[in-house]
Amino acid sequence: MSGPSVKIPADWLDSDRIEDLGADVVLLMLTALGQSARQTSNGVVPRRQLRKLWPVDDVDGAIAQLVKVGEIEERGADLFFIHWGDFILSEDEVDQIRAGSRERTERSRRHQRGDHSMCRPNYCREAARLRDASRHESRDRDGTVRVSDADPYRSDPTRPLGRGGEGEGRPPAGPRSAGAPRAAASSPPGGSRPPGAATPWELGITPRVL
């Protein structure tokens, strides 16, 4: 926004009641609305201010005409333009536009310095790259498989399968003295071990219970 402005509705200009006011009174009203836009006063203009705007022969007479057609409401030392919202922006709208302008200016300055934290990915390639990298990092972090350092549990394959499908064997109770022979493993159900087949005990695999 380059500055305050006054929008003139076409149907307002075409109305008979405004045409009957005369050009000077219409211009006085429009310049008063311009003053309200500059001051962001939401349609309120001091009465004395009208004498500094568009020159008319009879300011009080012009005000009386605008009151009669429903354009002005007198409030003591101030005049309130009833339909001001059809012509100018409100104070809140002006504040939003100014805030957006400041944000765009700051975004441009940071972009030129290589800081893309405020950039929009749709308009800045570097911002789009950073956004995509962040998404990949988030997916990788959520999908990481964590490996425990604890000793794994190994079931004894020479014992019958339990209800859960795992061998339910456990190592012999109590410590084994040094040099003592290893305990012979029991044969699997229904027959002897195949020739040459080694039991976990003979391979040196000691089951651990977690």
Domain residue ranges in the chain: 10-86, 91-141
- For all residues of the chain together, what is the average pLDDT? 76
How does DSSP assign the chain, residue by residue?
Answer: --S------HHHHH-HHHHTT-HHHHHHHHHHHHHHHHHT-TTEEEGGGGGGSS--S-HHHHHHHHHHTTSEEEETTEEEETTGGGTS--HHHHHHHHHHHHHHHHHHHHHHHT--TT--TTT-HHHHHHHHHHHHHHHHHHTPPP---SPPP---TTSPB-TTSSB---PPSSPPPTTPPPPPPPPPTTSPPPTTPPPTTTTT------
Q: Look up the CATH number of domain 10-86.
A: 1.10.10
The tens-digit pLDDT sequence of the chain (210 residues) is 456 889 999 899 888 888 889 999 999 999 999 999 999 999 999 999 998 999 999 999 999 999 999 999 999 999 999 999 999 999 898 888 888 888 888 888 888 888 888 888 888 888 888 888 878 776 656 555 444 444 544 445 455 555 444 444 455 545 554 454 554 445 555 455 555 555 655 555 555 555
Could you report the per-residue pLDDT of 80-97, keeping only the tens digit for each? 999 999 999 998 988 888
